[in-house]
Amino acid sequence: MEFHLHRPDEKIRPALQEKIDNLTKPKGSLGRLEDLALQIGWIQQTLTPSLHKPHNILFAADHGIVEEGVSTSPKEITWQQVLHFLKGGAGVNFLCHQHHFQLDIVDAGVDYDFDHHLALWDQKVAKGTHNYRYESAMSDEQMESCLQRGAEVVSHVHNQGCNVVSFGEMGIGNTSSSSIWMHYFAQIPLQQCVGAGSGLDHAGIQHKYQVLQEAIDHYSGDKTPYDIIRYFGGFEMVMAIGGMLRAAELGMIILIDGFIMTNCILAASQLYPEVLCYAIYGHSGDEVGHQLVLKHLKAQPLLQLNLRLGEGTGAICAYPILESAVHMIHEMDSFQKAEVTKYFDV
* CATH code for the domain in which residue 39 is found: 1.10.1610.10
Dihedral angle over CA of 208, 212, 213, 214, nearest 10: 110
Please report which confidence band the pLDDT of residue 288 belongs to, taking 50, 70 and 90 as the band edges: confident
In a domain, 170, yes or no: yes
First to last CA, the chain: 48
- Amino acid 343: pLDDT: 61
- 237 and 129 in one domain? yes
- 46 and 59 in one domain? no
In a domain, 3, yes or no: no
pLDDT of 12 strictly over 60? yes
Please report which confidence band the pLDDT of residue 338 belongs to, taking 50, 70 and 90 as the band edges: low
The letter for the amino acid at 101 is F
- 100 and 64 in one domain? yes
pLDDT of 74 strictly over 70? yes
Percent of the chain whose pLDDT exceeds 90 = 92
pLDDT of 346 strictly over 70? no
pLDDT of 38 strictly over 70? yes
Helices 288-296, 174-186: axis angle to 10 degrees equals: 40
Which phi and psi (to 5°) does residue 313 adopt?
-60, -45
- Amino acid 345: pLDDT: 54
Mean pLDDT of 1-9: 96
- 239 and 106 in one domain? yes
Angle at 168 between CA 236 and CA 108, to 5 degrees: 25
Mean pLDDT of 258-267: 98
* CATH code for the domain in which residue 73 is found: 3.40.50.10210
Judge whether 303 and 318 are in contact, CB under 8 Å: yes
Greatest pairwise CA separation for the chain in angstroms: 70
- 116 and 28 in one domain? no
- Amino acid 88: pLDDT: 97
- 88 and 72 in one domain? yes
Please report which confidence band the pLDDT of residue 208 belongs to, taking 50, 70 and 90 as the band edges: very high
Percent of the chain whose pLDDT exceeds 70 = 98
Give per-residue pLDDT as tens, 122-143: 999 999 999 999 999 999 999 9
pLDDT of 219 strictly over 70? yes
More confident residue, 346 or 157: 157
Mean pLDDT of 64-70: 96
In a domain, 304, yes or no: yes
- 59 and 45 in one domain? no
Query: Which residues participate in catalysis according to the annotation?
Result: 311
The letter for the amino acid at 15 is A
- Amino acid 54: pLDDT: 98
- Amino acid 333: pLDDT: 87
Averaged pLDDT score across all residues of the chain: 95
- Amino acid 249: pLDDT: 98
Give DSSP secondary structure letters for 272-309.
-GGGGGGEEE-B--S-HHHHHHHHHTT---SB------
In a domain, 346, yes or no: no
Mean pLDDT of 63-81: 95
- Amino acid 344: pLDDT: 60
- Amino acid 287: pLDDT: 83
Mean pLDDT of 138-162: 98
Q: Which residue range(s) make up the domain with 43? A: 10-50+328-338
Please report which confidence band the pLDDT of residue 242 belongs to, taking 50, 70 and 90 as the band edges: very high
What is the count of structural domains for the chain? 2
